[in-house]
Amino acid sequence: MSVLIVGSVAYDGIEAPAGKVDRILGGSATYASVASSFFTSPVRLVGTAGNDFDEQDLQFLTDHNIDLDGFRIDQSGKTFFWKGRYHSDFNSRDTLDTQLNVFEHFDPVIPDSWKDSSILCLGNIEPSLQRNVLDQVRKPRLTLLDTMNFWISGAREALEDAISRVDIAIINDQEAKELTGKSQLADCAREIRKMGPSYLIIKKGEHGAQLYSDELLFTAPAFPVPGIVDPTGAGDTFMGAFAGWLDQADTLDENTLREAVAYGSALAAFCVEKFGPGRFAGLDRSEIDSRYDALRGLSRIPGRS
């Protein structure tokens, strides 16, 4: 068992109704790998950071037992930086600044000893890089891919090709509509699954997440967090937790898939409680299980008597 996660490692500047932070650890691979680490081991991170990467952030990753043999500090420049502002409803955000820095030349190289990883998570990066990674690995048990609107408009062909080669596509509701030109999620799901993936997850933010396959349609609610602080990374967190849960399970049966989505939703709900990945420091498994149980109670429909 092993989860290989490829994605961005970044510093983020966040402005939100609850306050602001100038510079905090972020990036799709960061959130996904930390979330995955609560469920399985080893979790392997392929990514790059720059010469300004802080010792304490490296420590944060190693504290979560994340294997960093594929993580490179590129001394030629600074870490990818993104700055954004959330509005009060958290359903939209403005990008205030993007500095690609060393991420501009990110060329993911999978260490030989990692090429047989069981589960491959392709975090939100340029689709051509996602394809390069797919070319490097040897028959993972499962491949997952996340993306974002930027690539739908800017690199559609490569993105559709990458999607066609994975088992599980993960996308949010707005992106699903943009990718397919459909307005109803069920229609979006049908179109995206036609591209190739056996499984599709549509993330709906405060409305939870849906899983579509030939055999299963499942919808998990979002845990209602009072006073969301920072939604950055919630989607990446979802993917990491989902992949981590699948990795520790032997099978891909219906219950395992339902559990994985619910654990993804549970971890995402922790993610938004603090700026950056701060809420994961010291988070323990019993808290996670309690939130899983809460989601279960939230959505329980009694059997007919």
Binding residues for its own copies (CB under 8 A): 88-90, 177, 183-187, 204, 206-208, 217-221, 224-226, 228, 255, 258-259, 262, 289, 292-293, 295-296, 298-304
Q: How far is the CB of 40 from its own copies (least distance, A)?
A: 16
Residue 275 near residue 21, CB atoms below 8 Å: yes
Q: Are strands 209-212 and 217-220 parallel, antiparallel or unpaired?
A: antiparallel
**CB closer to its own copies, 156 vs 207:** 207
**CB closer to its own copies, 185 vs 252:** 185
**CB closer to its own copies, 22 vs 89:** 89
Q: Degrees (nearest 5) of the Cα angle 268, 54, 47?
A: 60
Q: How far is the CB of 91 from its own copies (least distance, A)?
A: 8
* DSSP H or E segment with residue 256: helix 254-271
**CB closer to its own copies, 130 vs 265:** 265
Q: How far is the CB of 235 from its own copies (least distance, A)?
A: 17
Q: How far is the CB of 253 from its own copies (least distance, A)?
A: 10
List, edge to edge, every strand of the sheet that includes 93-99. Answer: 19-26, 10-16, 80-86, 93-99
**Distance from C-alpha of 305 to C-alpha of 297, rounded to nearest angstrom:** 19
List, edge to edge, every strand of the sheet that includes 217-220. Answer: 66-74, 43-50, 3-6, 119-122, 142-146, 168-172, 199-203, 209-212, 217-220
**CB closer to its own copies, 109 vs 185:** 185
Q: How far is the CB of 218 from its own copies (least distance, A)?
A: 6
